Amino acid sequence: MVKVVVDPVTRIEGHLRIEMDLKDVTTDTGTWQFVDKAYSRGMMFRGFEIFLKGRDPRDAWYLTQRICGVCPAPHAEASIQAIESAFNIVPPPAAVLMRNILHGAYYLYDHMIHTYLLVGPELGILAKYPPMVPPALGKPGVAALGLGSSYVKCIEMQRKANEIVALWGGKFPHHASEYPGGMTVRPTEDRIASTLARMVEIWEFVALTMVKDLMALVEANKALGEKLTELLGVELRGLQDIGVSTGNFLSYGLFPDPETYESDWLEPSKRRNALFVSGAWDGSPKKFREEKVTEHVKYSWYSSSSGHPFEEDTVPDKDKEGAYTWLKAPRYDNKVYEVGPLARMINTFGLKWRIPRVHPITGEDYGDFVYEVQNPNGSVLDRIAARVANALLIANKMFEWINDIKEYKDAPVVNYRDVPDRGEGYGLWEAPRGALGHWLKIKGKKIEHYQAVVPGTWNFSPRDDNGNPGPVETSLECGTTWLPKDLDVPTICNVLYPEEDIDLSPLGINKKVKWGDALATALAPLGLAKLNMEPANGANYNTSIALTIVRSFDPCLGCAIHIIER
Amino acid sequence: MAIKTKLSRRNFMKAVAAMGAATFLSTYKSEIVSALKEAGDYWHINWLNGAGCTGCTISFAQAADPDIVEVLTSITVGDSKLPIALPDYMETIHPASGTLAEELKERWAHGEPGKRILIVEGAVQEPGWCEIAGKDFREHLKEAAEIADYIIAFGACACFGGVPSAKGNPTGARGVKDFLKEEGINKTVINLPLCPGHPDHLILTLAAIMLGIIPELDQYGRPKAFFGRSMHDELCVYRPYYDRGIFATKPGEEGCRYKIGCKGPVVHTDCALRKWNNHVSYCVEVGAPCLGCAEPGFPDKFSPFYDEIPGLPKILGISPTTLGELLLVGSGVGIGVHLGKRVLSKGEHEEEEEE
- Are A237 and A228 in contact, with CB atoms under 8 Å apart? no
Q: pTM value?
A: 0.91
Greatest alpha-carbon span in chain B: 65
- Closest-CA residue to A98 (of A1, A175, A4): A175
Which of A267, A248, A268, A425 has the alpha carbon at shortest distance from A334?
A248
Handedness of CA B105, B106, B109, B112 (dihedral sign): negative
A175 to chain B nearest CA, in Å? 7
- Looking at CA atoms only, how far is residue B350 from chain A in angstroms? 29
Query: What ipTM is given for this predicted complex?
Result: 0.92
Active site positions of B, annotated: 53, 56, 157, 195, 232, 236, 256, 262, 271, 283, 290, 293
Share the mean pLDDT of chain A: 92
What tens digit of pLDDT does each residue of A323-381 get? 988 888 999 999 999 999 999 999 999 999 999 999 999 999 999 999 999 999 999 99
B-chain residues near A66 (CB < 8 A): 53, 55, 162-163, 195
Distance CA A439, CA A456 (A): 17
pLDDT at A484: 96
Spell out which residues of chain B touch residue A59, defining contact as CB-CB under 8 Å.
299, 303-306
Torsion of CA A374, A377, A380, A384, to 10 degrees: 70
Q: What is the mean pLDDT of residues A530-554?
A: 95
> Per mean pLDDT, which range of A331-335, A552-556, B116-120 is the poorest?
A552-556
Q: Does the beta-carbon distance from B129 to A8 stay under 8 Å?
A: no
Q: Which of A61-75, A536-550, B33-47 has the lowest mean pLDDT?
A: B33-47
* A209-216 contacts, C-beta under 8 A, 24 or more apart: A209/A150, A209/A153, A210/A112, A210/A115, A210/A150, A210/A388, A210/A391, A210/A392, A211/A357, A211/A369, A211/A388, A211/A392, A213/A115, A213/A129, A213/A131, A213/A132, A213/A150, A214/A384, A214/A385, A214/A388, A216/A127, A216/A129, A216/A131
Name residues 94-133 of chain B within 8 A of A (Cβ). 94-101, 103-104, 107, 125, 128-133
Q: Which domains does chain A have, with CATH numbers?
A: 2-488+530-560 (1.10.645.10)
pLDDT at position A79: 97
Q: How confident is the model at residue A132 (pLDDT cuts 50, 70, 90)?
A: very high
CA distances, B270 to each of A202, B66, B161 (Å): 29, 19, 21
A316–B287 C-beta distance less than 8 A: no
Which residue intervals of B40-78 are DSSP H helices?
Answer: 55-60, 68-73
d(CA B255, CA A95): 20
Contacts A62 to B, Cβ<8 Å: 291, 299, 305
Cβ under 8 Å to A: B residues 43-102: 49-59, 61-62, 64, 67-69, 72-74, 76, 81-83, 86, 88, 91-101
Residue B310's closest CA among B332, B336, B289, B290?
A: B336
Q: What percent of chain A has pLDDT over 90?
A: 77
- Decide the pairing of beta strands B189-192 and B150-154: parallel
Chain A within 8 Å of B11 (Cβ-Cβ)? no
CB contact under 8 Å between B283 and A170, yes or no, is yes
- Whether the per-residue pLDDT at A173 is higher than 50: the answer is yes
Residue B115 has pLDDT above 60, yes or no: yes
Q: Least CA distance to A411: which residue of chain B?
A: B252
Are B55 and A137 an interchain contact pair (Cβ–Cβ within 8 Å)?
no
Q: With an 8 Å Cβ cutoff, are B95 and A531 in contact?
A: yes
Spatial contact of B174 and B161, defined as CB atoms under 8 Å apart: yes
Summarised one tens digit per residue, pLDDT across range A451-462 is 888 898 899 999
- Whether chain B has a CB inside 8 Å of the CB on A6: the answer is yes
Are A336 and A470 within 8 A, CB to CB? yes
* Beta strand segments in A43-131, E: none
Average confidence (pLDDT) over A497-509: 86
Whether pLDDT at B323 is above 50: no
**Distance spanning both ends of chain B, measured CA to CA:** 26
Q: Among A287-296, B78-87, B235-244, B343-352, where is mean pLDDT lowest? A: B343-352
- The answer to whether the Cα torsion of B288, B289, B293, B298 is positive or negative is negative
A-interface mutation test, from B71, B100, B280, most A Cβ less than 10 A away: B280
Residue whose C-alpha is closest to residue A297's, from A289, A286, A287, A309: A309
Averaged over B85-96, what is the pLDDT? 77
B48 CA to centre of own chain: 15
Q: Confirm if A414 and A91 have CB atoms less than 8 A apart.
A: yes
Residue B90, amino acid: M
Identify the band that residue B10 occupies on the pLDDT scale cut at 50, 70 and 90.
low
pLDDT at site A77:
98
- A 340-359 residues with CB below 8 A of B? none
Which run of H or E residues covers position A469?
none
Find the mean pLDDT for residues A132-140: 78
Lowest mean pLDDT among A280-294, B64-78, B146-160, B176-190: B64-78
> Of residues B327 and B181, which shows the higher confidence score?
B181
Structural domains in chain B plus CATH codes: 9-226 (3.40.50.700), 229-339 (4.10.480.10)
Q: Do A59 and B195 touch (CB under 8 A)?
A: no
Contact residues for B33 (Cβ-Cβ < 8 A; gap 6+): B75, B84
Q: Fill in the DSSP letter of residue A260.
A: G
CB atoms within 10 A of CB A407: 12
The answer to whether B285 faces chain A, any CB pair under 8 Å, is yes
Task: Say which amino acid occupies A498.
Answer: P
Close Cβ partners of A311 (under 8 Å, ≥ 6 residues apart): none
Nearest CA in chain A to B93: A11
Mean pLDDT of B101-105: 88
Residue pairs between chains A and B whose CB atoms are closer than 8 Å: 255
Pairwise CB contact (< 8 Å): B81 & A152: no
Asked whether the bond before B304 is cis by omega within 30 degrees of 0, the reply is yes
Find out whether B290 and B264 touch, Cβ atoms under 8 Å. Answer: yes
B168 contacts in chain A (CB < 8 Å): 50-51, 53-54
Q: Per-residue DSSP letters for B169-191? A: -TT--B-HHHHHHHTT----EEE
Smallest Cα–Cα separation from B40: which of B112, B110, B148?
A: B112
Nearest to A163 among B72, B162, B277 (CB): B277
The separation between the first and the last C-alpha atoms of chain A, rounded to the nearest angstrom, is 41
- Answer whether A89 touches B (CB < 8 Å): no
List the single best residue of B44, B54, B80 to mutate versus A (max A Cβ within 10 A): B54
Query: Comparing B99 with A47, which gets the higher pLDDT?
Result: B99
Given a contact cutoff of 8 angstroms between Cβ atoms, the answer to whether A452 and A64 are in contact is yes
- 3-state SS, one letter per residue, for A474-505: HHHCCCCCECCECCCHHHHHHHHCCCEEEECH
CB contact under 8 A, A70 and B98: no
Task: Decide if B194 contacts B226 (C-beta within 8 A).
Answer: no
Q: Which residue of B has its CA nearest to A530?
A: B100
Chain A CB within 8 Å of residue B284 CB: yes
**CA–CA min distance A14, chain B (Å):** 7
- In this complex, the residue of B283, B287, B307 whose CB is nearest that of residue A171 is B283
B162 lies within 8 A of chain A by CB: yes
Look at chain B and count its residues. Answer: 355
Percent of the residues in chain B that have a pLDDT greater than 90, as a whole number:
44
Q: What is the DSSP string of B275-339?
A: -BTTTTB-GGGGTPPP--TTSTTTTGGG-STTS-GGGHHHHHTS-HHHHHHHH-TT--S-HHHHH
SS3 A170: coil
pLDDT in tens, B213-261: 888 899 999 999 899 989 888 889 898 998 888 999 999 899 999 999 9
Which residue stretches of A237-331 are H helix? none
Element (H, E) at A323: none
